[in-house]
Amino acid sequence: MGSSFRAHIRTAMKAAFGLLLIALLVRRVDVGAIKSALGLYTWSWLLAATTIMVASWPIAALRWRIFVPSVPLRRLLELTLIGQFYSIVLPGQLAGELAKAYRLAKGRAEAEKLAASVVADRIIGMIALLLVAGLGMAYSSSRLPATVAWIFVGMTLALTICMFITRAAPVYALVTRSISRLEGTRLRVLASSLHRAVAAWHDFAGTPRRLFASLALGLVFQALGVLMVAMLGANLGIALPLADWAWIVGVMSLAVLLPITIGGIGLREGALIGCLGFAGVASATAIALSFGIFAVTLFGALAGGAVEFAELRKQSRGIEHG
């Protein structure tokens, strides 16, 4: 059995698992109520939410470019869209990050630095997400379990330490020595790549101005995401303060990172049902909101798919004429 076939089987299983989660959630909710909630959507509100999402794309690309100023902003925007495409068609949003790293670094002399830039950009983006969510929790009108807040604080600290850990001289020396031990083995090529990647990471963490600029753009990006979801919620008659939407979007975003379903199907719905339940929102309305979010996100994925198809077609023509 080939690896490609096994990969298709795993993907199919994760898609089936996501649909099973949806079925289990819907089974406990009045389907008629879900249909009624979906009927509240209007094209004007959906268009406004989509416009906000589109406005966030160049911000994401600009944030990424802070770490790789040698790459044109247009190329980073294209890869950002391609990443959204693979985040939908492959299990978990991290698959989109892997696709971005591979496409940007492939065949480049500074491949390790470019790949490290994707990881650094993702970590800063996650810290921004947690900070916005944490601020929302602090000003939330809902009484939330203290455990949730501590989890967010712990994740923020862990990611911050991860970002700066190589700046500690003993840690950097330990990491480089450990990698050097591989140079006399069959993994010497890997060791060389790891050395360059760690050096790039060390350089990223040593420029506070660059990190703060990236974090500022990350906060703007996350704020737009919160506004988009709040707008869709308002279209369904969900009246919540932005502070509540901030932490709800944070929990939902963390849930869909899990690589156990395709496009976060089932995870998004479960997270919203649980979170909006604290605010007294009916499960049917929460599911309708999840479908609306997925529809807007799917538009971004389709845009990324179009960019990816155009690039693959261009490469195919180049091979034919080569």
Helix (H, G, I), strand (E, B) or coil at 70: coil
> Would you tell me how many other CB atoms lie within 10 Å of the CB of residue 66?
22
State both tokens at 134: 């944490």
Domain hosting 53: range is 3-320
> pLDDT tens-digit profile of 32-81?
888 898 999 999 999 999 999 999 999 999 999 999 998 999 999 999 99
> pLDDT tens-digit profile of 178-237?
888 877 777 777 778 887 888 888 888 888 888 999 999 999 999 999 999 999 999 999
Which residues, other chains included, contact 130 with Cβ-Cβ below 8 Å and sequence gap of 6+? 152, 155, 156, 159, 250
Segment 297-307 shows an average pLDDT of: 89
Number of domains in the chain: 1
- Res 93: pLDDT: 65
Confidence of residue 14 (pLDDT cuts 50, 70, 90): low
- Res 292: pLDDT: 93
Task: Give the Cα separation of 264 and 91 in Å (integer).
Answer: 7
> Would you tell me how many other CB atoms lie within 10 Å of the CB of residue 241?
14
Compute the CA torsion angle 188, 161, 272, 243 (nearest 10 deg): -150
Task: Give the Cα separation of 75 and 82 in Å (integer).
Answer: 10
- Res 188: pLDDT: 75
Q: Residue holding tokens 């083995």?
A: 185
pTM for the structure as a whole: 0.86
CA distance readout (Å), 103 to 5, 75, 91, 214, 221: 23, 10, 18, 22, 23
Dump the DSSP string for 171-238: HHHHHHHHHHTTTTSTTHHHHHHHHHHHHHHHHHHT-HHHHHHHHHHHHHHHHHHHHHHHHHHHHTT-
Confidence of residue 87 (pLDDT cuts 50, 70, 90): confident
